[in-house]
Structure 1
């Protein structure tokens, strides 16, 4: 028989303290004032004369209201849990008291997850943390295996984005000749997408029995993940037409899925930096070129930040060889099963949940808790 869920008044007091800290980090009073100001602005005459500015304002209203509603909902959950627990205590040995205690515990469990999310968002203080992200996955050491590992990571991130409710646009995902993919680039739109996903930037290591080896030997393979922000419209990166070459070619994709088969794929080469960006997801050359230019501008902006700060981890973490000794996370499928983040120490033996279902939140949250110095005395586990 499963053990009944329980929660104590002390645990609810701890939740209240954490929630108070989150409210302070998020400046809830300032956000409420800001919403009032923006809503007054949105009903003023001529507000929609500048459509782009108006849309940006409405998006800010929606985001800010979402933060406020999340805290208000958590406050309501805390109040409900307290009320149920207090009533159960008053009822003593009444048979219905046990049901109330379980209700309080279940509410507290939801509250804990909500506060985890709110704390995570409050840690995002970077300029682009609350915005969208561009993710690129490339094979490293491991030959054909690395291309297959790149495809496995690509599918894992697709599942993760789906779990988070984020919108994904696949910009480029060409199939490799034998197995897997040559690379993948995709844009992720959603709340805190860049802040969350920058936890994934770095080298990912896979250990398993090689599916391409007739002798069934163990193989170690690597792939690199790059995460950069989608730049807001108010950041303008000038690119001279003379500095780029635009090539059009035939699109391809893994299994022929998700990619058109017309000659609309676009490759943009930026001569001064040597950056090459490809996009083949959209149905027209114009759309694909626009997507390429968005990615190119984001990468050029990153380079400029690196020049100013002389610190590559400003945006995506240190640039390292995609191979031995540089991994941020290991995925071991043989001789045992484990996924372990080498920075935060978060680990799990449920590799299927991670790779097949995209259950990455424990690793992402664990990384940010570690990175912000908010690590608990006990290492979090997946």
Structure 2
């Protein structure tokens, strides 16, 4: 904490365009072309709302913090909406902010001598922050992007706020090094996950609230994945009149392979009567489909993190999930995946707090052929 005052100095910066391509099935938000395409398709910017969900957690202890931030949608607007006193230390000269704006804002926060930088974005934003900060200042990410492979993010926006509140009130929160990773978006759009290590930053170490680096699958799970895929594919064949929404990932790809259907590995497909009726759908397309037909959702949890909703599947919007209904979700994960969570719950981060609460509780997780365990979803 700064020696000049006894007030915690918090830096806040937002990438306003983080995650804008997710609901549009664009597999990322990097680059002017993708942003323009997403906006033209009607995408809504959500990063400010994500940061708001974090900062609301410190309103009751606002007297313990001085907030430094960037202008407009990069931070000041969000702080103002919560009536949190703040000082603007960086002003962007453009309406459509770029990676350079993020880096310049972060540099201004570092120069101001903040104790922690709280930033909202995805893995691309984490790279920008890391380029400036490295290990000079602790950081904590508010997850708002399409891609969250880095270990510098809290598990949900609210969890990020909880960590900051702990720090403000003097609770013991240690600091550890966490990895920054990002994937090649062009390869991602071709169904390939090519994640690279870009550096490390210091993050507050409260394991209940800060996620692990995303883990890939392992060969010793192949038999379990085959069993899960066999079971789910039989469900689809036995009740073909339902509209089946098939989530992303290798487990769901195996389901589609058993049905001998084409699959979007890193997107959402829709199956009915044994055929793919819509491939790589957007949130809007999906909502139109599930609003008029009894539907079921098949989805798996992200290994190492436990996220079921809100990571790489923004096409499953709150409206879509409500239309399908919680009782029509098939959540699949191997027991090894669940054990890797070390007691942490599965996570729902839809961007709608009321929905996350409604989806929470004990859920049945398919862990093999007609084999389930009951596990908390939060």
Q: TM-score range by the shorter chain?
A: under 0.3
Q: TM-score, normalised by structure 1?
A: 0.25
Higher helix share: 1
Higher strand share: 2
Rg bigger for which structure? 1
Q: TM-score, normalised by structure 2?
A: 0.25
